């Protein structure tokens, strides 16, 4: 990044990342002249994206007075985020640094289809902006987590096993309209859609494990999915199918019919829905992963036994995942991420994986809990919108 090639967007990235937080440091890193740095910073100040903070230490090479620190101004905009599950949803207004300014959770059934669900979210966003006392015009983007595989470039889900009626639907376009109708946000507000496990992994890695270069999260709720973050970026595969471990075939499930229509999938024998079905078979009322979670919290002995058994099944598959990815952190999240399930995972994982693969592995549970996908969705919106090239285009669109 030398000479005139360092754009205003790249200067913003240097400040946000902490690599260069004074004018002098920006000159050193980029090789730009003082005047050019000043001109490009002026565009960022006029956009409201940067602000001046406290004075820093004197630059040992440039000398002179103490340098004024430059800071990303997180008050100039907000992000809307939502996390869809099979039977409920959570939505929030977030600051650009991930602070939850207002939040709402309620029943919202994904089986009702995209029109009804997304329209409802638009109304929630309006209520949340009023609750947070933020103007709709401050919304710079919307992030949405969904329980299915997503082609990130198009924002459309691809053959989702537990989202009937959503396959190929223009989620981003419809949610933008719903937010404009229900909350008064700009009609052209960017909407980013991704798989919920991906966004959970992104939120957890950035918040609690920023130095982990290979991070894996497994969500075990009504279904089973995984998110992988490598070198700070979500790994999605070619078309969003990475991490779909719930549909790996396992020997114990030969007779178990999965929601995807196949037999023998891991989700058919070890997900929250599968455990709920087995509990119902022995006279314990349960219909979903959240029902199982409540039984586990109450210490129900049969639920604890079946959760541990499910954990063993997932642990056997994760032995292969860990051998392939060699992650530093493996996080278990979702409705079944309690003690009994985790014990089952650990038991089979360490039994089946090579010691070399687990020597530096931490197996942990979620830190952010039910907010992880929201935090990840908000972080993804900010990283995408303020990335150097896109930031430069946005500045040009503002006439700066």
- For residue 270 the two structure tokens come to 């070890």
Which pLDDT score is estimated for 60?
57
**Long-range contact list for 7-10, CB < 8 A, 24+ apart?**
7/40, 7/388, 7/392, 8/40, 8/41, 8/43, 8/44, 8/391, 8/392, 8/395, 9/386, 9/387, 9/388, 9/389, 9/390, 9/391, 9/392, 9/395, 10/388
- For residue 170 the two structure tokens come to 């223009």
347, pLDDT greater than 80: yes
Contact 286, 279 (CB under 8 A): yes
Q: What is the pTM of this model?
A: 0.92
Query: Could you tell me how far CA 269 lies from the centroid of its own chain?
Result: 26
Which pLDDT score is estimated for 59?
56
Q: Which of the listed CATH numbers 3.40.30.10, 3.20.20.70, 3.10.20.600, 1.10.10.10 matches domain 3-72?
A: 1.10.10.10
Which pLDDT score is estimated for 3?
45
Which pLDDT score is estimated for 256?
87
Which pLDDT score is estimated for 254?
77
pLDDT tens string 61-114: 555 566 789 999 999 999 999 999 988 999 999 999 999 999 999 999 999 999
- Report the SS3 class of residue 176: helix
pLDDT tens string 113-124: 999 999 999 999
Residues 6+ positions from 218 with CB-CB distance below 8 Å = 197, 224, 225, 226, 245, 314, 318, 330, 331, 332, 333, 334
Lowest model confidence (mean pLDDT) among 53-57, 147-151, 290-294, 351-355: 53-57
Q: So what's the architecture of 203-367 in CATH?
A: 2-Layer Sandwich (3.30)
Sign of CA dihedral 293, 344, 221, 101: positive
Class of domain 78-198+373-397: alpha beta
pLDDT band at 55 (very low <50, low <70, confident <90, very high): confident
26, pLDDT greater than 70: yes
Lowest model confidence (mean pLDDT) among 158-162, 213-217, 381-385: 158-162
323, with CB counted inside 10 A (0-12, 13-18, 19+), is middle
pLDDT band at 57 (very low <50, low <70, confident <90, very high): low
Please, what is the average pLDDT of the chain?
92
pLDDT band at 257 (very low <50, low <70, confident <90, very high): confident
Distance CA 52, CA 55 (A): 9
CA torsion 200→252→302→280, rounded to 10°?
A: 90
Which pLDDT score is estimated for 58?
59
Distance CA 317, CA 266 (A): 8
Averaged pLDDT for residues 28-57: 91
Give the C-alpha distances (Å, rounded to integers) separating 32 from 29, 56, 71. Answer: 8, 20, 19
Averaged pLDDT for residues 252-280: 89
Distance CA 94, CA 353 (A): 40
pLDDT band at 338 (very low <50, low <70, confident <90, very high): confident
2, pLDDT greater than 70: no
Q: What are phi and psi of 281, to 5 degrees?
A: -65, -20
The domain limits of the chain are: 3-72, 78-198+373-397, 203-367
Q: What are phi and psi of 305, to 5 degrees?
A: -65, -45
Count CB neighbours of 32 within 10 A.
Answer: 23
| Domains 78-198+373-397 and 203-367 fall in the same CATH topology | yes
Distance CA 179, CA 122 (A): 4
- For residue 339 the two structure tokens come to 């003690």
Which pLDDT score is estimated for 266?
94
């Amino acid at each position: 990044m030398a000479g005139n090639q360092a754009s205003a967007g790249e200067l913003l990235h240097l400040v946000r990342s902490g690599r260069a937080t004074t004018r002098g440091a920006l000159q050193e890193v980029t090789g730009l002249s003082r005047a050019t740095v000043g001109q490009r910073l002026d565009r960022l100040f006029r956009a409201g994206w940067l602000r001046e903070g406290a004075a820093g230490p004197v630059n040992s090479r440039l000398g002179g007075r103490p340098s004024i620190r430059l800071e990303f101004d997180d008050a100039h905009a907000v992000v809307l985020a939502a996390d869809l599950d099979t039977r409920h949803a959570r939505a929030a207004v977030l600051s650009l640094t991930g602070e939850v300014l207002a939040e709402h959770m309620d029943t919202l059934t994904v089986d009702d289809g995209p029109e009804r669900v997304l329209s409802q979210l638009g109304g929630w966003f309006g209520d949340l902006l009023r609750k947070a006392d933020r103007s709709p015009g401050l919304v710079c983007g919307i992030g949405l987590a969904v329980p299915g595989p997503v082609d990130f470039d198009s924002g459309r889900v691809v053959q989702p096993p537990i989202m009937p009626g959503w396959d190929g639907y223009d989620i981003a376009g419809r949610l933008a309209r719903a937010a404009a109708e229900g909350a008064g946000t700009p009609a052209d507000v960017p909407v980013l859609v991704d798989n919920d496990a991906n966004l959970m992994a992104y939120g957890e890695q950035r918040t609690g494990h920023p130095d982990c270069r290979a991070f894996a999260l497994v969500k075990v709720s009504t279904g089973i999915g995984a998110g992988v973050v490598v070198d700070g970026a979500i790994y999605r595969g070619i078309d969003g199918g990475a991490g779909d471990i719930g549909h790996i075939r396992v020997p114990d499930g030969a007779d178990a019919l999965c929601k995807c229509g196949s037999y023998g999938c891991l989700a058919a024998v070890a997900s929250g829905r599968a455990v709920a079905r087995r509990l119902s078979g022995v006279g314990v009322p349960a219909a979903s992963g959240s029902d199982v979670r409540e039984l586990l919290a109450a210490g129900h002995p049969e639920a604890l036994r079946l959760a541990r058994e499910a954990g063993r099944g997932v642990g056997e598959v994760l032995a292969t995942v860990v051998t392939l990815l060699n992650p530093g952190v493996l996080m278990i999240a979702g409705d079944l991420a309690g003690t009994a399930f985790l014990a089952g995972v650990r038991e089979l994982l360490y039994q089946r994986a090579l010691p070399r693969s687990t020597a530096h592995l931490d197996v942990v549970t979620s830190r952010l809990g039910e907010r992880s996908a929201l935090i990840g969705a908000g972080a993804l919106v900010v990283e995408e919108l303020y990335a150097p090239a896109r930031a430069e285009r946005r500045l040009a669109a503002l006439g700066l």
